Structure 1
Amino acid sequence: MKGNLKKIGILVGGGPAPGINSVIEAAMLRGLSEGLEVIGLMDGFHWLMQGDTSHIIPLNEDTVHRIHFRGGSLLRTSRANPTKDPKHLKTTLASLQSLNIDGLITIGGDDTASSAMRLEQLAGGSLQVVHVPKTIDNDLCLPHGISTFGFQTARHLGVEIVKNLMVDAHTTSRWYFAVAMGRKAGHLALGIGKAAGNAITIIPEEFHHRPLRLSNLSNILLGSIIKRLGAGRPDGVAILAEGLPELLNPEDLSEVGDVERDEHGNIRFAELDIGQVLKETVQRELKHYGIKLTIVTKNIGYELRCADPIPYDMEYTRDLGYCAAQFLLEGGNAAMVAIDTGKFTPLPFKDMLDPDTGKAKIRLVDVESEYYKIARQYMARMEREDVESHEAIAKFSQVLKISPEDFTQKFGNISEDNRNS
């Protein structure tokens, strides 16, 4: 079964996600059952790219006993990127070779997948590489309907948080602007919002024309607040995908804060307080119309990443870990593992590559799908029918204490903001 494979190394890159430990445990058990040596490589590519091979731990039944119940990562993680410098990539491969590793399992998101692809190409067949897709953002290019591991746990816990915010908002007659993680895609924000049934969720994919103006975002939120006030509700929860600032006009982005980037060149969204900026802009608008309303911001993200996995992710990740090790045992190489309709499906690295970026493809929310359209139907969002109905215009004008003509001028194009931003 194992052919020439003798030693497997496992590393974790990117941000944490529930289920990492389950992958490690299952992959280790499968490798040991075939007589392989399995070691853990600490802190992702961080030490390997420096030529330091001392940060390793042997993986056996004692070191990983029942870790599939726990969040976090036994091997820790980092965003170290060996592809930024050809020397680092070569050093990484040399480090793995000096450890006699001939099979490598990488666990991570699109950036770690991209590093795994480049490393496998450099190895030229001397190293078998398989990638396990991990991200609570759910944005890796898996087959339709298949989550990245950790997403379902993150969504589950995110819904619990938003449910409590909704009760608090109703009890205290206030609004919450909650920012949910999701660097490029709005899967987590929409997944939480659709399940929780909050007032409005805004994701990057709905804005077809870029750059996006900050005033458009604040206008959409203002419209939602006005619509709720018109229904006698001075409360609500808006969920905002954290990736929205990446769409902003550069002039507006400077208002959000200093732009810091990680080792892969991605904006550190945790440093950009889009919720606070939108709170301030919307409150200025409300004050202009004489409306007093409390808005509170809340970031939803870090508390989701290292949570204990729910049973779905616990089972799913153990399957992924098993399949990753099995793939290497059968001589497989250069692929990402996926389970489609109950069957292990390797996705070749070459099919994952985005020709424009040279990195792994990003899966976005399909705003033309029924999944999104249904979510939109249940939002308290100012839509075309609201600005074309005389009855609605009269009601909302009264809320703002302005004329119907002024209301139409302010909100007439709001339903098109996501098309013409």
Structure 2
Amino acid sequence: MKRIGILTSGGDAPGMNAAVRSVVRSCVYNGVEVYGIYYGYQGLIEGQIKKLTIGSVGDIIQRGGTMLYSSRSEEFKTEEGRKKAINQLKQHEIDGLVVIGGDGTFRGAMKLTEDGFPCIGVPGTIDNDIPGTDFTIGFDTALNTVIHSVDKIRDTATSHERIYVIEVMGRDAGDLALWAGLAAGAESILIPEVESDFDDVVEKIRRGHDRGKRHSIILLAEGVGSAVDYADRINEKLNVQTRYTVLGHVQRGGSPTANDRVLASRLGAYAVDLLISGEQGRMVGIEQNKLVHHNIIEILNKKNHIDTGVYELSNQLSI
């Protein structure tokens, strides 16, 4: 393993830069050349590849986003597109590839693995929806962004005695809404993994009103539906002032937390170690604070599950 390539793909996540830094410096430490592939799989097809050094990744550990940039590539989904990508890797004499991203990124790595090219996947997504790891890079930062926003909105909700429905990202996963709802003391948390009853939410609001509570925060994962529609339904049912906030892409940005910087650094270095030791077609992760790796194809065939204990606790505490 003389040359390793690295790319980031899909949605950006805070901590990706820390992972890139870790991969580059781990390669240099081990006497391996490292090449940055810009603009994800599309950049790989187009040959946007540049050698990286220690100085290339200086002062990026604290920056959100990704210095390698990101894009989505329809061309890479085709067999012809992947042939072009592998040809570029061969032309640059790259022996192995580290890919940082989420589900879509890993599916690209899986295809390269099936075509016989050594790949290691590093989970970087705010959705925390990758099986085989307790946490993904970017989740903790996005979680704190949501919590800070909910805390501020609660001040207004309290002052004006209003109900607020706050929509958070997560695609088809509810971890961001679930953990943020527990940490911010939301009265109701709606996630796609658990079927919710609108009447139960309304009843909880009524019970709170009967004991003198005049405001409520409802955390809604985008996979469940629209905060706009949900707020309208509550307003029609209870005839109370209901507002909505869609946090949107603010959740993806910002300087990564200490947890995300450390996680990214550990996973990036581990990915390099695996490639150097001859492993391929693996995904690195962390379970019970220990580094692990799994077959990337098997992982993508599994379904991610929420922590039911966290969900049950949130229900108990939001009575």
TM-score relative to the length of structure 2: 0.94
C-alpha distance in structure 2 between counterparts of 1:158 and 1:108, whole Å: 21
C-alpha distance in structure 2 between counterparts of 1:330 and 1:111, whole Å: 26
Give the C-alpha shift of residue 200 in structure 1: 0.9
User: 1:219-243 deviations in whole A, cap 9, x for unaligned?
Assistant: 4443333222222222111000111
More strand as a share of residues: 2
1:372 aligns to 2:311 (yes or no): yes
1:131 aligns to 2:121 (yes or no): yes
Match of 1:314 among 261, 264, 273: 261
Equivalent position of 1:279 in the other structure: 231
Whichever residue aligns with residue 328 of structure 1, its letter is L
1:101 aligns to 2:91 (yes or no): no
User: 1:144-171 deviations in whole A, cap 9, x for unaligned?
Assistant: xx21111111112211111111121011
Relative to structure 1, the CA distance from residue 320 to residue 306 in structure 2 (aligned partners, 3 Å threshold; closer, same or farther) is: same
CA contact (8 A) 2:43 2:49 kept: no
CA RMSD between the two structures: 1.8
SS at match of 1:147: coil
Which aligned pairs between 1:12-91 and structure 2 lie closer than 5 A?
12-49=8-45, 52-53=46-47, 55-82=48-75, 84-91=77-84
Which aligned pairs between 1:3-402 and structure 2 lie closer than 5 A?
5-49=1-45, 52-53=46-47, 55-82=48-75, 84-122=77-115, 124=116, 127-143=117-133, 146-207=134-195, 217=198, 219-245=199-225, 274-286=226-238, 291=239, 293-354=240-301, 361-366=302-307, 369-380=308-319
C-alpha distance in structure 2 between counterparts of 1:282 and 1:342, whole Å: 41
Give the C-alpha shift of residue 379 in structure 1: 2.3
Give the C-alpha shift of residue 300 in structure 1: 2.4
User: 1:83-139 deviations in whole A, cap 9, x for unaligned?
Assistant: 5322222222222222221110000111111110111111x2xx3210001111111
C-alpha distance in structure 2 between counterparts of 1:224 and 1:344, whole Å: 41
CA contact (8 A) 2:165 2:245 kept: yes
Runs of at least 5 residues in structure 2 that lack an aligned partner in the other structure: none
C-alpha distance in structure 1 between counterparts of 2:170 and 2:305, whole Å: 10
C-alpha distance in structure 1 between counterparts of 2:122 and 2:96, whole Å: 13
Runs of at least 5 residues in structure 1 that lack an aligned partner in the other structure: 246-273, 355-360, 381-421
Give the C-alpha shift of residue 22 in structure 1: 0.5
Give the C-alpha shift of residue 16 in structure 1: 1.2
C-alpha distance in structure 1 between counterparts of 2:237 and 2:89, whole Å: 58
Equivalences, count: 319
TM-score relative to the length of structure 1: 0.72
CA contact (8 A) 2:169 2:176 kept: yes
Larger radius of gyration: 1
Relative to structure 1, the CA distance from residue 183 to residue 12 in structure 2 (aligned partners, 3 Å threshold; closer, same or farther) is: same
